[in-house]
Structure 1
Amino acid sequence: MLPATAGHAIDAANGRVLGTGPALANTSAAAVKSKTPVIAHAEEYARLKKAGVAFVRVLWCDTVNLVRTKVIPLRRFFEDRLSTQGIRDQQCLAAMPVTGDEVLAGSPSGDLILMPDMSTLCIMPYYPSHASVFCFMYLPNGQPFACDTRALVARVLTRAKQEFDLTFNMGFELEFTLFMRNATTGAREPLDKALYAENSALDPSTSEVLDDMVMMLEAQGIAVEAYHKESAPGQYEIVLKYKEALAALDDLVRARTTLRHVAKAHGLECSFIPKPFSGEAGNSNHCHISESTSSDDDVDSGVASDSGHVVISQEAQHFMAGVLHRLMPLTALLAPSYVSYERLVPQMWSGAFTVWGHGNKEAAVRAGDNNFEVKTLDGTANPHLALAGVLAAGLDGLRQRLVLPPPLQDDPATLTQAQRNAIHCQSLPSSLLMALTHLKGDALLADVLGPRLLNTFLRVKEGECKQIDVMHGAERYELFVRRY
């Protein structure tokens, strides 16, 4: 079973919503006889009212990773039973390009029901009169909406549990750039030009911004392990602690939104644009993944070998091999924007080659003590969609018992082409169109995404490429800093 919304159970086998009416199972006979209105989630309603919450934002992350929302007055959300019956919207919202709200030819059409997942209800501490909640998406007839990426990753996680008894934890490194405006010219400039982990970057005014970001994250139950200055001008990193996979992905969406709001409150601009400055390190959202079973500790864990590196379990090797095997098509999901490929270049710590290593910053996949890291993910990716693809590829590696090649500890860019060929090392796609071509040719990912979502994603991304390709560099830069 997939995660159930309150008053609804979701049947993963046939994709139907069960019990699609109001959640009245606990209605007392006295209440029915007196026709007293029954409010589902009454305790949550009372808690939010007491806290001064007046509105609920129903959130979803669209195909191009824009977080969209419908804002509902608190009273209406609970008393009119929208918390159990959902909010109507339009299917075409899943197929809007990053360039603007344009309905592309062949986009899905018709009504859509946004069904709140009440387990994700959370007060927004940086705007405490609002709470937010994620949703699952359905058609009016109760069928799941094919372009619901959050439901997609939930299905993949369910399959992993049913087929392999596997559950996953994830943690993320959020790299972002803080911009200020020049007081004289109004031009956008990086907040500083400090180097990696340079203490001088954390003066009181900058530390106050980052401290506020961390406190706002922690107030939403998003645990932070550390923050520090990154290498590029104005670039910082906040590391999110491991959590169960779906919750971690939701946290990543909330964290990106939180950081942008907090920066704005301080008169700054926060952007996850993959390559803010030519010749400098880019922004990524490195994803750390660990596996476990109901009877074992982390599958990835092991003991140190004579080399000092952890010996990775056989099962984890198969999983990592599956990810590496499909990294070319996966790149379209992990780095899905026109500007993503400005970051994925050799010798810039981006992991621009299909190799893995122990701590090798030039490898796309890195092995840690009890997890592995996918470096390709950036801030323009819908995380639910991207990690659904990664998990599906890894599970297929387990299914097929794929063999993980030896680790590479050298910089792949320093090898000859013959040396790279010998270890099956490829350069990642150099453009989004090239990555989309690889995605089109991958039968497994086509099956996992399904024809409706795959075709929608391809249509939107190919349309974006045509529109963005004719933009001037400054116009393109402005678009992506503003959107992401």
Structure 2
Amino acid sequence: MAGTSNSHRSPTLPAPGAAEARAARGLRADGVAAALRDRKVVGVAVGWVDNAGITRAKAVPVGQLGEAAAWGVGAAPCFDVFLVNDAMTDSRWIGGPVGDLRLVPDLDRITPLAAQSGWAWAPGDRLTQDGVPHPGCQRDFARRMVAAAAERGFEVRAGFETEWVVAEAGSRHDEPVFPTEGPAYGMQRVVDLSDYLADLLQAFDDQGLAVLQLHPEYAPGQFEVSSAAADPLAAADHSVLVRQTIRGVSARHDLRCSFAPVVTAGMVGNGGHLHLSLWRDGVNLMHGGPGPHGLTADAEAFLAGVLDALPALLAIGAPSVASYVRLVPSQWAGAFRTWGLENREAALRLITGSRGEAETRANAELKCFDAAANPYLLVGAVLAAGLDGVGRSLTLPPESVGDPARDPAAERLPQRLLESVAAFDRSTVLREALGDPLHDAVAAVRRGEAALFAAATPEEVVAATRWRY
């Protein structure tokens, strides 16, 4: 597939060994640092998300930002094979105690944190010591897939729905204690936690994060925030920043939060739904076409490619053993490999938008994914699958018009992590897009976590992962 080889260089990173580019980054960072000091920022947390879905970070004093931007901060490649419990596994290309990378902050995305006085956050790109993208860098993978779509003449707009459960700060390994007993989607939850939610909305606004809505969700103590659409790399950055903002505001209110796939065994879990739309020359290709519900041929082929790849994509988007405790029928989790118009039980939900706004609002939602996923891996893998569908001119199968759990012919998605890993291993599309080092590191982490919880009950899995995400 064009633009997906490991050798494709990021269009936003300098050529290897370019001293001028390093100097320019450092000089620019000095100006950014001065602006941060004016806002009383003393430290910058440079973050990345590992293959287990855990957000990691290294921090630098604001006075060291120029050095970090020019030369990066040391970050061992072994983090690519960390498991959810911080144990390490190994893979063919990545693992072990030897080697180093350079973690370079993206100066365009540095954000002073509204809920963490004195701090800013920046997503980091991971480079080799030679200054080229690390083959295991998940953020660079997302960037490469955006470039691959652009080479085909496509613009993709994406946004995440982030669900979380808020609990009293004293909740640890025991079942969480919820600060509200308000019912599902109930106004009572908004009343009980109005100061917390108002501070959260204010923090999003102060940080320039555009959110579309915030509402109580189904499970006890659960809420959801929907981020506005952006290019896929920015959408992944926003997903990380949204979660860290929720953590910061929660801590200020003596609360803690969990984005784990399941927080209480037997209850509806936290989704990390991905919305996306396909555009060309400013036109939304998910509207005005001859295909199902107005899809153009390219949009239908793109979605058909994603649907075709869903079992393998689950290894990216439902990456935890706990994900499969969540992914059950009749809980709006998208447990079946089906699609349908406004069908919340289908893994792929088509949304046409209200009359009068369909030209801009028509999009698709992938409901089978959760917040344990690395958002950079997820947007990149979905783009790779969709572009493969366009390349093969795929069409969608008949749509699901009801609850697929009542249709004997409906195909269940993998019900265990190792099933999705097997599909991931078979996917030449994802292996080509990710490259061997990143593909194998992802698979190694999935197998490591499957082994870690091989003898655990669902309740034990939930308890072990509840506060890790």
TM-score, normalized by the shorter chain, greater than 0.5: yes
Deviations 1:342-369 (A, max 9, x none): 1111111111111100011110001112
Q: Residue 102 of structure 2 contacts residue 126 of structure 2 at CA under 8 Å; is this kept in 1? A: yes
Per the alignment, residue 7 of structure 1 pairs with none
The aligned amino acid for 1:126 is A
Q: Residue 280 of structure 1 contacts residue 348 of structure 1 at CA under 8 Å; is this kept in 2? A: no
The aligned amino acid for 2:332 is W
Structural mapping, 1:458-473, within 5 Å: 458-471=443-456
- Could you tell me which runs of 5 or more consecutive residues in structure 2 were left unpaired when the two chains were aligned: 353-361
2: CA distance, partners of 1:255 / 1:127: 13
Per the alignment, residue 453 of structure 1 pairs with 438
How much has 1:73 moved relative to structure 2? 0.9
Q: Work out which of the residue numbers 152, 167, 173 in structure 2 matches 1:179.
A: 167
Cα distance change on mapping 1:351 and 1:85 into 2, 3 Å: same
The aligned amino acid for 2:389 is G
How much has 1:430 moved relative to structure 2? 0.4
Per the alignment, residue 112 of structure 1 pairs with 101
Per the alignment, residue 341 of structure 2 pairs with 358
1: CA distance, partners of 2:282 / 2:64: 46
How much has 1:42 moved relative to structure 2? 3.5
Cα distance change on mapping 1:312 and 1:303 into 2, 3 Å: closer
Q: Work out which of the residue numbers 128, 132, 138 in structure 1 matches 2:121.
A: 132
The aligned amino acid for 2:124 is C
Cα distance change on mapping 1:436 and 1:363 into 2, 3 Å: same
Per the alignment, residue 321 of structure 1 pairs with 304
Q: Residue 424 of structure 2 contacts residue 430 of structure 2 at CA under 8 Å; is this kept in 1? A: yes
Per the alignment, residue 84 of structure 1 pairs with 70
2: CA distance, partners of 1:452 / 1:134: 22
Matched, 1:373 2:365: yes
How much has 1:54 moved relative to structure 2? 0.9
Q: Work out which of the residue numbers 209, 212, 233 in structure 2 matches 1:222.
A: 209
Q: Work out which of the residue numbers 379, 386, 391 in structure 2 matches 1:394.
A: 386
Matched, 1:277 2:275: no
Structural mapping, 1:395-414, within 5 Å: 395-414=387-406
Q: Residue 332 of structure 2 contacts residue 345 of structure 2 at CA under 8 Å; is this kept in 1? A: yes
Corresponding residue SS for 1:190: coil
How much has 1:477 moved relative to structure 2? 2.6
2: CA distance, partners of 1:368 / 1:147: 34
2: CA distance, partners of 1:383 / 1:173: 11
Per the alignment, residue 11 of structure 1 pairs with 9
Matched, 1:190 2:190: no
2: CA distance, partners of 1:350 / 1:470: 25
Per the alignment, residue 482 of structure 1 pairs with 467
Per the alignment, residue 161 of structure 1 pairs with 150
Cα distance change on mapping 1:76 and 1:279 into 2, 3 Å: closer
2: CA distance, partners of 1:26 / 1:387: 30
How much has 1:280 moved relative to structure 2? 2.8
Matched, 1:299 2:285: yes
Per the alignment, residue 428 of structure 2 pairs with 443
Per the alignment, residue 130 of structure 2 pairs with 141
Corresponding residue SS for 2:444: helix
1: CA distance, partners of 2:117 / 2:177: 30
Corresponding residue SS for 2:288: coil
Q: Which region of structure 1 is more displaced relative to structure 2, 140-149 or 315-324?
A: 140-149
Corresponding residue SS for 1:373: strand
Cα distance change on mapping 1:283 and 1:266 into 2, 3 Å: same
Cα distance change on mapping 1:394 and 1:48 into 2, 3 Å: same
Q: Residue 16 of structure 2 contacts residue 130 of structure 2 at CA under 8 Å; is this kept in 1? A: no
Q: Residue 21 of structure 1 contacts residue 84 of structure 1 at CA under 8 Å; is this kept in 2? A: no
2: CA distance, partners of 1:243 / 1:373: 15
Q: Work out which of the residue numbers 64, 84, 93 in structure 2 matches 1:98.
A: 84
2: CA distance, partners of 1:97 / 1:285: 20
The aligned amino acid for 2:101 is L
Deviations 1:387-425 (A, max 9, x none): 211110000100100011222111111112xxx1xxxx4
Corresponding residue SS for 2:467: helix
How much has 1:23 moved relative to structure 2? 3.8
Cα distance change on mapping 1:26 and 1:436 into 2, 3 Å: closer
Per the alignment, residue 327 of structure 2 pairs with 344
Corresponding residue SS for 1:133: strand
The aligned amino acid for 2:339 is W
1: CA distance, partners of 2:428 / 2:154: 23
Per the alignment, residue 383 of structure 1 pairs with 375
- Could you tell me which runs of 5 or more consecutive residues in structure 1 were left unpaired when the two chains were aligned: 3-9, 28-37
Structural mapping, 1:226-245, within 5 Å: 226-245=213-232
Matched, 1:212 2:204: no
Q: Aligned pair count?
A: 450
Per the alignment, residue 141 of structure 2 pairs with 152
The aligned amino acid for 1:245 is P
Identity percentage over the alignment?
30
The aligned amino acid for 1:149 is Q
TM, length-normalised to structure 2: 0.90
Q: Residue 89 of structure 2 contacts residue 445 of structure 2 at CA under 8 Å; is this kept in 1? A: no
Q: Work out which of the residue numbers 282, 291, 294 in structure 2 matches 1:311.
A: 294
Per the alignment, residue 30 of structure 1 pairs with none
Per the alignment, residue 355 of structure 2 pairs with none
How much has 1:186 moved relative to structure 2? 8.0
Per the alignment, residue 53 of structure 2 pairs with 65
Deviations 1:31-72 (A, max 9, x none): xxxxxxx83333312211111111111111111111111111
2: CA distance, partners of 1:25 / 1:70: 22
Deviations 1:65-116 (A, max 9, x none): 11111111111222xx221221122111111111124354654341101122
Q: Residue 159 of structure 2 contacts residue 235 of structure 2 at CA under 8 Å; is this kept in 1? A: yes
- Could you say what the CA RMSD is over the residues aligned between the two structures, in angstroms? 2.6
Q: Residue 116 of structure 1 contacts residue 135 of structure 1 at CA under 8 Å; is this kept in 2? A: yes
